[in-house]
Chains A and B, each alone.
Chain A
Amino acid sequence: QVTLKESGPGILQPSQTLSLTCTFSGFSLSTYGMGVGWIRQPSGKGLEWLANIWWDDDKYYNPSLKNRLTISKDTSNNQAFLKITNVDTADTATYYCARIRLTGSSFDYWGQGVMVTVSS
Chain B
Amino acid sequence: DIQMTQSPASLSASLEEIVTITCQASQNIGNWLAWYQQKPGKSPQLLIYGTTSLADGVPSRFSGSRSGTQYSLKISRLQVEDIGIYYCQQASSTPTFGGGTKLELK
For B87, the chain A residues whose CB sits under 8 A away are 46-47
Size class of the contact patch on chain B: 20 to 34
Taking a contact as CB atoms under 8 Å apart, the answer to whether B45 and A104 are in contact is no
A62 & B94 in contact (Cβ 8 Å cutoff): yes
Q: Complex: how many Å from CA A60 to CA B1? A: 13
A46-B87, A104-B34, A104-B49 known; A63+B94 contact, CB < 8 A: yes
Contact size range, A: 20 to 34
Q: Which residues of chain A are near B34, meaning CB under 8 Å?
A: 104-107
B46, chain A: closest CB distance, angstroms: 5
Q: Of the candidates A52, A60, A96, A108, which one forms a contact with B49 in the assembled complex, judged by CB atoms under 8 Å apart?
A: A108
Interface string of B10-29 (1 = CB under 8 A from A): 00000000000000000000
Q: Is the CB of A60 within 8 A of B94?
A: yes
B95 close to A104 (CB less than 8 A): no
Residue ranges of A at the interface with B (Cβ–Cβ < 8 Å): 37, 39, 46-49, 52, 60-64, 96, 104-113
What are 9 A-B residue pairs whose CB atoms fall within 8 Å in the complex? A46-B100, A47-B89, A60-B94, A62-B94, A63-B94, A104-B34, A105-B34, A107-B36, A112-B43
Interface residues of B, Cβ cutoff 8 Å to A: 1, 32, 34, 36, 43-46, 49-50, 53, 55, 87, 89, 91, 94-100
